[in-house]
Amino acid sequence: MYRMRLPPWLLLLLPAFVILLAVVAIPLVLSFYSSFTAFQLTRPETITKWIGTFNYQKAMGDANFWAAFGRTVLLLTVALNLEMLLGLGLALMVAKVTRGQRLLRTMMMFPMMFSPILVGFQFKFIFNDNVGLLNNALQSLGLTDVAIPWLVDGSLAFFAIVFAEVWTSTSVFAILILAGLFAIPQDPVEAARVDGCTPWQTFRYVTLPFLMPFIYIAMAIRSLDVARAYDIVQVMTAGGPARRTELLWTLIGRTGYVDARMGYANAMGYIAILLSIVFTVYFFRKLTTARTSLGMGD
């Protein structure tokens, strides 16, 4: 008797495909469709009102959208690079410790347990200009006697958001880089020392290239998780005041749910998705090259 048989790998991947299809792909198709309509959440019948690429054209010509777009790219670039540098420093310092390292490692991961929404509230309070911890401290120490408007002034607020982002996510970098440091084979490091390299040169030419794949993994993970920034920003400033910290995601959320203009929100969402995909694919590429050059590829 003849029986249709799927190749085993397809069978094994099938559950993943089905779930991702149901929860990600279908909604995306739906939102892709609705991005060509004048769909409004409050008036369901508008989903059939086909308006072509109007929403996209509108987004293209919308200064607010482009401001948010630029700010998002800026935030990603600044935050990812800072997290990488700080994570590297932190991992190097922790790796050097011999006693009590286990405790330090757990402490290092502390921010990972915090829900992004909680991080948002926490920093909203720390940076509050009136009763915030930071201003309180600065004033008590006599460093300033005015209330610094951390979350009100555009660039200060951007700084505050970057700070919160970096606080939560540096540990992702640190832990991955630490894992990398533990995995470094000692032979090349010792060979470099014998060859007369200074500690800095050893780090630069031996350790760092080896760590690069780990760094790219962290970058890839983080660029996948950029949407976390939504929670934090939503709570801290909600894109305000007066759109001065508006990011793509807060803009989309507000357009979709508050203004109920789903079609338009979805169109912007699609552009945001493309942005994430570009970032992610970029880091995956980097990761593959770094792996291959170290002979770890497959």
Site for another protein in 3-62 (CB under 8 A): 7-10, 12-13, 15-16, 19-20, 22-28, 30-31, 34
Indicate which single residue of 150, 231, 239, 246 sits in contact with another protein (rule: CB under 8 A): 231
Side chain identity at residue 142, one-letter code:
G
Q: Which amino acid is at 243?
A: R
Q: Does 109 bind another protein (CB under 8 A)?
A: yes
Q: Report the candidate in 228, 248, 264, 274 with the shortest Cα–Cα distance to residue 64.
A: 248
We find the least distance from the C-beta atom of residue 71 to another protein, in angstroms, to be 15
Alpha-carbon dihedral sign for residues 126, 129, 131, 136: positive
* Closest distance to another protein from the beta carbon of 54 (Å): 18
User: Which burial class, exposed, middle or buried, applies to 102 when counting CB atoms under 10 A from its CB (0-12, 13-18, 19+)?
Assistant: exposed
By residue count, the chain amounts to 298
CB under 8 A: which stretch of 56-64, 105-113, 149-157, 201-209 binds another protein?
Answer: 105-113
Q: How far apart are CA 66 and CA 71, in angstroms?
A: 8
The residues that bridge with 40 in the sheet, in sequence order, are 43
Binding mask 248-277 for another protein (x = CB under 8 A): xx--xx--xx----x--xx--xx-xx--xx
Q: If binding means CB under 8 A, how many residues of this protein chain bind another protein?
A: 97
Q: Closest distance between another protein and the C-beta of residue 208, in Å?
A: 14
User: Which member of 224, 241, 282, 286 binds another protein (CB under 8 A)?
Assistant: 224
Q: Which of 220, 236, 245, 246 binds another protein (CB under 8 A)?
A: 220
What interhelical angle do 154-183 and 101-108 show, nearest 10? 140
Given the rule CB under 8 A, which of 52-60, 149-157, 215-223, 236-244 is the region that contacts another protein? Answer: 215-223
Residue 201 CA to its chain's centroid (Å): 31
Site string for another protein, 155-194 (x = CB under 8 A): ------------x--xx---xx-xxx-xx-----------
Q: Considering beta carbons, is residue 89 or 241 the nearer one to another protein?
A: 89
Alpha carbon distance 31, 39 (integer Å): 10
> Can you state the percent helix, strand and coil of the chain, rounding each to 5?
75, 0, 25
The residue among 60 and 112 lying less far from another protein, judged by its C-beta, is: 112
Q: Which of residues 120-149 bind another protein (CB under 8 A)?
A: 121-123, 125-126, 130-131, 133, 136, 140
Q: ∠ at Cα 66 (65, 67), nearest 5°?
A: 90
* Shortest Å, Cβ 103 to another protein: 10
Subset of 75-94 contacting another protein (CB under 8 A): 89-90, 93-94
φ/ψ of residue 69, rounded to 5 = -60, -50
